[in-house]
């Protein structure tokens, strides 16, 4: 089929609807914001049409069941007070064990051997510090941390502060790996080569599973294996992976991982975080940041003077988890279970993002990376996410050209006004992430049509 014929085919409503019939989703399980409620400039606050929400990589939508789940906890608090910790009139999980069934649901999402390898606790960056306190043990020879340059800023701040807390200079401790000139993503071969080059001095390899800016899905298994082969601890920030792509953390022998739950896991703004700790560390009793909720639950309320860690990831808990946040996460994880898990959803995710990619590269405004490196004069965009589906999650990152001319801001504003929700990241990138649980192919088609139309009204 010619390029023109292919473009005509994929831009048809029938084609998109056929894909939706082939890959049905779970949109009815979620609350979809209306265009009016979003409150963008020049929109009618009474517009009740559903938005096209392509921002699950930033904040997932609310499961409908979360409302009742939260209300049940509020009701128990109101009616029972402190006794809700140990017994419930409504027969729901007592607060003292509120996170146990959630860990059971989370374990298969990340490929844990069982629930003992995961713990629902804290938030993302605090969990990062918790894991580094336990696993980062620099010596005079082994003290360096291999890390991606331009990782999410909070990770960067955390790692710098970890270096400083150990009396180390971050400039000498952090090895910041960046893409080759003219490229936007890291090559696995370059990561493995750097691990080999620094093998005598590496204490830790710590990367994002999916890079927040480009959407690159790193080869976790290969990088973990190489890092461990040179004697380094290997940890991962899985904020953009969890609930987005299949993971096999136990099988891959990842030492530890941290994750948030407000993105693809739809647990709500500021949602509770989680950790993974490999089973081989279950009983090693390493020094850690300890607290009473990580203590043996059978002696926890005896208020003993010594810490008796729960075996596994739960032994890293410090305080009791937020009940309201925890039940929001459970509401979403129950939908994942109903959908057949992340592996089943990955098929739909690939279809959605591949469709978005195909539509975008057929646009008259699309530029290849090579063309963009030459310096674009006419308005357009390139895609800085990997072109190979297996090297990305649901997110595509669009870089608008020429850089610094206000095109990205113009397009973003037009998308908002038409009810398309993505997010912007400087410099000049809009991230669009069709989410397997609640987006559909026809929405993707509409979003690309709106994006293309926004170029018509641009004037630099």
d(CA 187, CA 198): 17
pLDDT computed for residue 376 by the predictor: 64
pLDDT surpassing 70 at residue 323: yes
- Asked if residue 212 belongs to a domain, the reply is yes
The predicted model gives 425-454 an average pLDDT of 98
Partners of 175 in the beta sheet? 146
Domain boundary, last residue among 304, 323, 339: 339
87 with 14, same domain: the answer is no
- Residue 258 belongs to what H/E stretch? strand 256-259
Determine contact, residues 136/203, Cβ cutoff 8 Å. Answer: yes
State which of 311, 339, 367 marks the end of a domain: 339
Same domain? For 96 and 191 the reply is yes
- Evaluate if residue 151 carries a pLDDT over 80: yes
> Is 240 annotated for ligand binding?
yes
pLDDT, the chain, mean: 97
- 277 part of a folded domain: yes
Q: Are residues 43 and 86 in the same domain?
A: no
d(CA 228, CA 214): 26
pLDDT at residue 49 greater than cutoff 70: yes
The per-residue pLDDT for 4 is 66
Do residues 155 and 162 touch, judged by C-beta distance below 8 A?
Answer: no
Give domain status of residue 410, yes or no: yes
Residues 88 and 120 in one domain: yes
- Composition of the chain by helix, strand, coil, percent to 5: 45, 15, 45
Confirm whether residue 262 is marked as ligand binding.
Answer: yes
pTM for the model: 0.96
Q: What is the pLDDT of residues 257-315, one digit of tens each?
A: 999 999 999 999 999 999 999 999 999 999 999 999 999 999 999 999 999 999 999 99
Domain identity same for 82 and 204: yes
Strand 380-383 vs strand 52-53: parallel, antiparallel, or unpaired? unpaired
Choose among 33, 72, 18, 54: nearest CA to 451. 54
Quote the DSSP letter at residue 268. Answer: -
Number of structural domains (the chain) is 2
Whether 66 is in a domain gets the answer no
- Establish whether 12 is an annotated binding residue: no
Encode pLDDT of 383-414 as tens digits: 999 999 999 999 999 999 999 999 999 999 99
Q: Is 279 exposed, middle or buried (0-12, 13-18, 19+ CB in 10 A)?
A: middle
Whole-number Cα distances in Å, 70 to 8, 65, 103, 324, 453: 47, 9, 18, 6, 41
312 and 208 in a common domain: yes
- 98 lies in a domain? yes
pLDDT of residue 42: 85
- In this model, does residue 2 exceed pLDDT 60? no
- The β-bridge partners of 277 are 256
Decide which of 372 and 429 is more confident: 429
* Together in a domain, 144 and 254: yes
Instruction: Give me the count of residues in the chain.
Output: 460
Pairing of strands 144-148, 396-401: unpaired
Pairing of strands 118-120, 174-177: unpaired
Regarding beta strands 233-237 and 202-208, do their DSSP bridges make them parallel or antiparallel, or are they unpaired? parallel
Of the residues 324, 339, 354, the one at which a domain ends: 339
The annotation status of 124 as a binding-site residue, yes or no, is yes
Residue 107 has pLDDT above 80, yes or no: yes
SS3 75: helix
Residue 154 labelled as part of a binding site:
yes
Q: What per-residue confidence (pLDDT) applies to 322?
A: 98
Q: Are residues 335 and 349 in the same domain?
A: no
| Alpha carbons 277 and 236: distance in angstroms, whole number | 11
pLDDT, tens digit, for every residue of 217-244?
999 999 999 999 999 999 999 999 999 9
Identify which of 122, 184, 182 has the alpha carbon closest to the alpha carbon of residue 149: 184
Q: Check the annotation: does 77 bind a ligand.
A: no
Regarding whether 296 and 162 lie in a shared domain, the answer is yes
Q: Does residue 382 form part of some domain?
A: yes
Say if residue 155 carries a ligand binding annotation.
yes
What's 59's DSSP letter? Answer: S
Q: Are residues 245 and 323 in the same domain?
A: yes
Mean of pLDDT values over 168-190: 98
Q: Which of 393, 245, 447, 350 is nearest to 23 (CA)?
A: 350
pLDDT for the residue numbered 265: 99
31: domain CATH number?
3.90.1150.10
Q: Indicate the helix (H) or strand (E) that contains 202.
A: strand 202-208
Whether 9 maps to a domain, the answer reads: yes
With cut-offs at 50, 70 and 90, classify the pLDDT of residue 460: low
Residue 368 lies in a domain: yes
Query: To the nearest whole percent, how much of the chain has pLDDT over 70?
Result: 99
* pLDDT exceeds 90 at position 112: yes
85/199 Cα distance (integer angstroms): 49
Q: Does residue 291 sit in the same domain as residue 370?
A: no
425 sits in which H/E element: strand 423-425
CATH classification at residue 240: 3.40.640.10
Q: Is residue 19 domain-shared with residue 46, that is, in the same domain? A: yes
**How far is Cα 270 from Cα 268, in angstroms, rounded to an integer?**
6
Range of the domain at 373: 3-61+341-457
pLDDT band at 200 (very low <50, low <70, confident <90, very high): very high
Apex CA 80: angle with CA 78 and CA 84, to 5°? 110
Distance, C-alpha 312 to centroid of its chain: 23
Q: Give every CB contact of residue 174 below 8 A, 6+ residues apart in sequence.
A: 144, 145, 147, 159, 160, 163
């Amino acid at each position: 089929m010619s390029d023109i014929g292919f473009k005509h085919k994929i831009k048809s409503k029938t084609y998109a609807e056929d894909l939706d019939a082939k890959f049905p989703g779970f949109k009815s399980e979620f609350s979809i914001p209306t265009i009016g409620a979003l409150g963008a400039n020049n929109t009618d606050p009474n517009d009740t049409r559903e938005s096209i929400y392509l921002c699950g990589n930033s904040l997932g939508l609310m499961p409908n069941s979360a409302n009742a789940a939260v209300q049940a906890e509020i009701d128990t608090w109101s009616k029972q007070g402190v006794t809700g910790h140990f017994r419930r009139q409504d027969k729901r999980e007592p607060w003292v064990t509120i996170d146990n069934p959630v860990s059971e649901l989370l374990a298969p999402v990340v490929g844990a051997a069982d629930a003992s390898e995961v713990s629902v606790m804290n938030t993302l960056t605090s969990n990062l510090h918790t894991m580094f306190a336990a696993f980062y043990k620099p010596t005079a020879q082994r003290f360096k941390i291999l890390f991606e340059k331009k990782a999410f800023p909070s990770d960067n701040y955390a790692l710098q502060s970890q270096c400083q807390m150990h009396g180390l200079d971050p400039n000498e401790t952090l090895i910041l790996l960046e893409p080759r000139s003219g490229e936007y993503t890291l090559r696995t071969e370059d990561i493995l080569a750097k691990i080999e080059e620094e093998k005598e001095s590496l204490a830790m390899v710590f990367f994002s599973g999916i890079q927040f800016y480009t959407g690159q899905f790193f080869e976790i298994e290969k990088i973990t294996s190489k890092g461990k082969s040179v004697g380094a601890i290997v940890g991962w920030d899985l904020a953009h992976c969890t609930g987005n792509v299949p993971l096999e953390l136990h099988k891959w022998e990842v030492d530890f991982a941290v994750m948030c739950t407000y993105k693809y896991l739809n647990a709500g703004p500021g949602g509770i975080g989680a950790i993974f700790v490999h089973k081989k560390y279950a009983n090693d009793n390493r020094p850690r940041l300890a607290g009473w909720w990580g203590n043996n639950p059978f002696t926890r309320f005896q208020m003993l003077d010594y810490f008796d860690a729960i075996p596994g990831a739960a032994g890293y808990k410090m305080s009791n988890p937020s009940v309201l946040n925890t039940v929001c996460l459970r509401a979403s994880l129950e939908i994942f279970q109903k959908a057949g898990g992340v592996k089943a959803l990955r098929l739909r995710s690939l279809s959605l993002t591949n469709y978005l990619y195909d539509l975008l590269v057929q646009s008259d405004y699309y530029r290849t990376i090579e063309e963009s490196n030459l310096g674009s004069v006419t308005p357009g965009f390139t895609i800085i996410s990997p072109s190979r589906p297996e090297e990305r999650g649901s997110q595509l990152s669009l870089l608008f050209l020429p850089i610094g001319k206000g095109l990205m801001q113009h397009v973003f504003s037009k998308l908002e006004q038409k009810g398309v929700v993505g997010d912007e990241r400087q410099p000049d990138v809009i991230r669009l992430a069709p989410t397997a649980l609640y987006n559909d192919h026809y929405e993707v088609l509409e979003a690309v049509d709106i994006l293309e139309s926004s170029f018509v009204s641009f004037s630099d």
